[in-house]
Structure 1
Amino acid sequence: MKIKTIEIYGYGKWVNQTFDLAEGMQIFYGKNEAGKSTLMSFIHSILFGFPSKQGSDLQYEPRKGSQYGGRLRLVDTIYGEVLVERIKGKGNGKVLVTLADGQIGEEDLLKRIVFGLDKATYQALFSFNLDGLQKIQQMSGGKLSRYFLSVGTLGNEHLLKIADKFQQQAAKLYKPTGRVPEINQKLASLKQKEQQLKTAKAKNTEYNQLMSQKLVLTGSLHENQEKREALEINLVQLRRLSNNWSHFNEIQEIQNQIQKEKLTDLPEDGLYQLKQVNDELQRLTKEIIQAQEQIAYLSQKAGQSEDFSFYLEHKLAIKEVVLEANQTQAVLQSKEILQAQYLQAHYYLEQLLTKMGLPVYGDLPAPLAMSEQEQIHSQLEAEKALKERKKVLAYEKQRIDFQLESCNQQIDKLENQLWENKTFHDFNQGSTIEDSSNLQRSKIIKSISKMPAYVGLGLASVSIILGLILNSGIGWGIVALGIFLLAGSSYFILPKHNKEIKPHGTPSEATYSYEEYIQQVEIRKQWREKLAEADEATETLNQMMLQIEELESLDLQLNQKQQKLKTNLGLPVDFSLESLITTDPFLEIRQQIQLVDQQEAELAEQERQLTKWMDKAEFCKSIVNYSSDRLAEFIVVLQQFYQKQQEIEKSQQTISQQVTEINQQLAAVKEQQATLKAEKLQLFQLVEVTDEEAYHKKYILNQQLQQKKARLDLLEDQMAEDLVQFARYRDEQALLESIIEEEEYLKELKEQFDQRLNQKVECEVALKNLEEGGQYSVLLQELANLKSELQELVDRWSSLQIAAELIELTLTLARKDRLPATMEDTSIYFKRLTENKYLRVLFRNEQIEVQHQDGTFFEAQELSKGTAEQLYVALRLAFVKNAEDLLEMPLLIDDGFVNFDKERKGLVLHLLNELSQTNQILYFTYEAEIYNEFPQSQVKVLQ
Structure 2
Amino acid sequence: MKILEANIYGYGHFIDSHFDISRDFQIITGENESGKSTFKSFISSILFGFPTKREKSENYAPKKGSIYGGNLLITQRGHKYVIERINSDKSSNLSIMDKQTGEKVPESLLKKWLSGIDKQLFNEIYAVNQSSLHAVLDLKPDELEKNFYSIATSGSQEIFETQKKFMKVAGELYKPNGRVPEINVMLKEYDEQQKQTQHLINKLDESKDLDKRISELQEQNATILQEKKQYEQDFLELQQLSSSWDVYQDVLLTSRKVTDPVSKITIETFERIQFQHNKISALEENLSSIEKQIENIKLQLKEKDFMELNSYLQNKEDFDNLFDSLNSSKNLTRHETVNSERLSRRNKNLRNNEVSLIFLGIFVLSLLMLIFVSNVPFKISGIIGIIIGVYGFNKELKKDSSVESQPISEQNKFDFCRKKLKLTNDYSENLEKIFNFQRQFKEQQNFKNEFETRETFLNKERTAKLSKLREEQIIFDTQLEEVEYDNFDSFRSMYFQQQNQIEVESKLQGLKSQLSKNVINNLKRFSSKREIEEEKNLISNKINLKRIDSEDKTAQLISYKMQLEKIGNSNEIAILQQEAANQRSRINTKIEDWLSLVLSTKWLDEYLSKLSKDRLPQIIELSTHFFEKLTRGHFISIVLEKTQFLLLTKDNQEFKVNELSRATAEQLYLSLRLAFVVTFNKKIGLPIIIDDGFVNFDKKRKIQIIDLLLEISSETQILCFTVDISVMCDKVSYEEILVI
Structure-2-length-normalised TM-score: 0.39
Structure-1-length-normalised TM-score: 0.31
**Which structure has the bigger radius of gyration?**
2
